[in-house]
Amino acid sequence: MNFKPIDEMSLRQLFSTEFGKELLGMSYIGPVLDQNGKIDPSPDCLVLDMRKSPYQVKRCEFKFSPRSKEDFSHNGKFDVGIMWSIQSPLTKEQLQKELLEQNGCYELIVLDEISKFHKLPEYDLTNIKRNFHIETMRERILTIKLGLPSVWVIYIGSKIYPKRFDSEKMYELLTKKFPSVSTIQSKGTGNLIGSFVQTTPPLIKRMFGKSYEWNNDFDPLTSSSYISELITVNFRGDLPTEDEIKFVVDSGN
């Protein structure tokens, strides 16, 4: 489970996760070495930029939330600066210009400007406790072998809670979005929802008839954030649009 960072150390940790690697197209290599092969204490590290071929090794400096170019005055030369946010009234454009002159830095990456990072849960006691439930949820999800369509079911369920979804509309949406669903036998199609009703504890609860609801024993906000990460990073898929989500909402509740 990933959280919004609260300091430079947690910012570096977030960057080093698979989540960070996939979204940014960069990975940590190690400390900077000087011409004699000894560790140079500044800037922070070398990263591999994999956004385009050929890959490039770049010198990188992390700052949690800089206030001015002076925060970088002792960091030497580096290529890319990675930060969570920039403190007002300083702007990204102003800092970029000043760091180019001062440190030779030609790129700033502000993670809080990127939607998937911005939507991460806050790092607090409540969410840390919920993380144990999230790990249980993750185990339940990974035991279901029906792929991305089934993960859409629980993402939508958690996203719309406390509203419920109509199972027939859900099947209709999944069939249109994923042609493979139409080739699943009727029993298998039922498992797209039923499998999550039968887990212990269940992720989805059947309320009545065609109406199903997310099990709020698992916090819906934290869960939807985590499941969205599974969809975009693990499955390399797209999240359902607002219209697709609205389509499956049970009109009777």
Q: Which amino acid is located at 194 in the chain?
A: G
CA distance 171 to 212: 13
What is the percent of the chain where pLDDT is above 70?
90
Place of tokens 């369509």: 149
Round the CA-based radius of gyration of the chain to a whole number and report it. Answer: 22
pLDDT of residue 188: 45
CA distance 252 to 163: 10
Whether residue 190 is predicted with pLDDT greater than 80 in this model: the reply is no
Question: Number of helices (H) and strands (E), helices first, in the chain?
Answer: 10, 10
The alpha carbon of residue 11 and the mean position of all alpha carbons in its chain are separated, in whole angstroms, by 14
Angle at 191 between CA 185 and CA 196, to 5 degrees: 170
Q: Per the structure block, which two tokens stand in for 103?
A: 């440190």
Helix (H, G, I), strand (E, B) or coil at 65: coil
Give the model confidence (pLDDT) of 96-131 as tens digits.
999 999 999 999 999 999 988 998 888 888 777 666
**Contact 5/13 with Cβ under 8 angstroms?**
yes
Compute the average pLDDT of residues 12-41. 91
CA distance 21 to 240: 23
Task: Report the C-alpha dihedral over residues 71, 73, 78, 80, rounded to 10 degrees.
Answer: 20
Q: Which residues of 192-206 are buried (b: 16+ CB within 10 A; e: fewer)?
A: bbebbeebeebbbbe
Compute the average pLDDT of residues 140-169. 85
Q: Per the structure block, which two tokens stand in for 224?
A: 């939807």
Q: Name which of 120, 117, 99 is nearest 108 in CA terms.
A: 99
Residues paired with residue 63 on neighbouring β-strands, in sequence order? 83
pTM for this model (two decimals): 0.60
CA distance 58 to 45: 8
